[in-house]
Structure 1
């Protein structure tokens, strides 16, 4: 297990992380975890590693983009003094170009703004934590010519580049999803190509747990 004992692990992102969490509940409490991959990870760590006393916190908010994370980074991340931070953001930064294309250009998150803002979050955090996990945004899509998917690929590349540049752990969730879609339909994991169902959330949780060095046999 690569996570030190008695650590606080904070997950932040958009609706893929949020998944119905209770915003009013105390960070780390059952209702605050939502019903997605964060809750699954918390359950696995609690059940299999009872002696580690790990606290999991969920700070995902529906619809968030990287610029939204920046606005709440101090209160929702730094003030909670986590030991590890997991960031999954980017799908809405791309999606808004397609579902709200008539917004003023300054209201859309360009690739450059995405990179600059993401780097700022890393700069504010890296020296204060034991580890940062950067997760690639993803789609449950097999059509490589899909316009939104093609644009998302650029944002995925930025996340990977930032992980390498800052020597952070990178989890390519698109690779995880693509491997599954080689054998099964995307509808097994998602109804809209973006939001995972419980099968999809288990896939994400499993990828993260592997990166943490989790072993079911413990």
Structure 2
């Protein structure tokens, strides 16, 4: 298993990661994990692998694109001296091209080239300080590749996958897990808006991450 004993694991991202976490609580403490995939990962690690004594910290921030995430990265991620960092960011970088089409003043949009450069900078900043950095793809609960937003998102997903390969990082294809689910059930079971997961949708993402790091699902 990739996670070693006493590991500090930080999850960085946007509202999908944030999932209404309580900012007033101590990071890694009670009620600090939100109601999404991070809390489900924490539940599994605590209940099924208590011997690892892993500490899970949710540093997701609602509304973040990659520029906003990078601006807070030292405070939100590196100050915890993590052993493992998972970054999932990009859906807002894409969404702003669609939900703010009629807003132009003070609404800069992150294009793929800038996304790639900032992501590489984050990787360069992170790798010297951690044992593992994981890139998890942003995703949509949408199977149609001709859907304009899904088509745009695929370019950002490809960048994350390419950067993971180039930098020797674990890449977790969350979109693949979402697509597998959508071949079996309608999206409204897992999300109200094709982006933010319900509790059921969060389980899809949590299981994908746990499987990718080699989590043993048999109770210890």
**3-state SS of 1:32 partner:** coil
Map of 1:1-218 to 2, 5 A cutoff?
1-101=1-101, 102-104=103-105, 107-217=108-218, 218=220
State the distance in 2 between where 1:54 and 1:146 align: 40
| In 1, Cα distance between equivalents of 2:106 and 2:27 | 35
* TM superposition shift of 1:103: 2.2
- SS of alignment partner, residue 79 of structure 2: helix
1:68 positional shift: 0.5
In structure 2, C-alpha distance between the alignment counterparts of 1:152 and 1:49, rounded to whole Å: 35
Q: Unpaired runs of 5+ in structure 1?
A: none
Moved more, 80-89 or 105-114: 105-114
1:13-61 superposed Cα distances (whole Å, 9 cap, x missing partner): 0000001111121110121110111001001001111111100000001
Q: Compute the TM-score of the two structures, normalised by the length of structure 1.
A: 0.97
Return the alpha-carbon distance in structure 2 between the equivalents of residues 181 and 130 of structure 1: 34
Shift of 1:211: 1.1
Give deviations 1:55-112, integer Å, cap 9, x for gaps: 0000001110000011001111111101000001000000000001232597100101
Give secondary structure in 2 for the equivalent of 1:60. Answer: coil
Structure 2 unmatched runs, 5+: none
Instruction: Calculate the aligned-residue CA RMSD, in Å.
Output: 1.1
SS in structure 2 of the partner of residue 11 of structure 1: strand
Runs of 4+ in 1 over 3 A off after TM superposition: none
Count of aligned positions: 218
SS at match of 2:85: strand
SS in 1 for 2:86: strand
